[in-house]
Structure 1
């Protein structure tokens, strides 16, 4: 069955985005405890491109499938987890890139380079790293993984923050600073 990407974020309401998030069937990686560990020989670069043994993986559906198996442990190591194997994967910065954002009422919906949608809030907080002159903004995705906002998405989020009069945004009742502490 061919993969069909979701509609453009601008065309979705919060309810429609939430429906798409709920409908996405993800593997139960948190329930798997494989004994076999190894190296996937894969790398995710800071710009969100995936490589295997030095060659770029160019099929979006394949990247999306691998992305659904990602977890990050408390030491910051990323893993591809299947029922039988746990394979390390090198990640230069964040496992995902947030490529778009939309404000709908008191919610911020992000679209990722994997076509996943994430609604910021208690389960998906936004955090600022770096320094005030060059901040890096991240949103929590799942299983410890994060998405770094690309430049245009950061600019969109900054516009939303400036409307409120400070450099912070709110989503689902939570407030997030866009400047590192």
Structure 2
């Protein structure tokens, strides 16, 4: 079994456990003063949560619902939290070649995700500054913001392609091409 196959099996197992947990729907208990900053730091009542094990526990019950809000869901409670941008940050990128070219991202919490049709990369551009804001779909309707260094690695791996008469830059992972943006803008 290749390294990619092993990673994909781990991701599949993680997502299966997550899907199995989704049926409960506790009623909203209110807001809790937890905020996830743009850099992925979790705060409680204005102070950073320093225990990584606690952050990972909270992250394991984090969901984004159809209303666009983020909640910590336990069997008994549903508490709304604030998220400045995305709840996770992709901090590392590895390009795997076997058994097929794939992009493996690692988040700030050490979880891995492979870009594919179920975990697409998308790039938004700030209308005022033109700065890219790249994301990868992670799990449970959640995304990871791709940090600047990782995005620059993606751009290095990029290959030009033409779409609607315009020149774009894209990357391919597991047979799916992701558009990183128009090179003419």
Please give the per-residue CA displacement for 1:115-137, whole angstroms capped at 9, x wherever unaligned: 11111111111111014941110
Higher strand share: 2
Q: Distance in 1 between matches of 2:32 and 2:53?
A: 18
Is 1:171 matched up with 2:173?
yes
Is 1:108 matched up with 2:116?
no
Unaligned stretches of 5+ residues in structure 1? 1-11
Equivalent residues of 1:29, 1:81 under 8 A apart: no
How far does residue 23 in structure 1 lie from its aligned partner after superposition? 4.7
Equivalent residues of 1:110, 1:117 under 8 A apart: yes
Unaligned stretches of 5+ residues in structure 2? 162-168
The count of corresponding residues between Structure 1 and Structure 2 is 168
**Could you say which residue in structure 1 is the equivalent of 2:113?**
118
Is 1:20 matched up with 2:17?
no
4+ residue runs over 6 A deviation: none
RMSD: 2.2
Counterpart pick for 1:72 among 64, 75, 88 = 64
- Counterparts of residues 1-181 of structure 1 (less than 5 Å): 13-24=3-14, 26-27=17-18, 28-105=20-97, 106-131=101-126, 133-161=130-158, 164-166=159-161, 167-179=169-181
How far does residue 29 in structure 1 lie from its aligned partner after superposition? 3.8
How far does residue 69 in structure 1 lie from its aligned partner after superposition? 0.9
TM-score normalized by the length of structure 1: 0.84
Structure (1 or 2) with the larger CA radius of gyration: 2
Q: Distance in 2 between matches of 1:154 and 1:170?
A: 14
TM-score normalized by the length of structure 2: 0.82
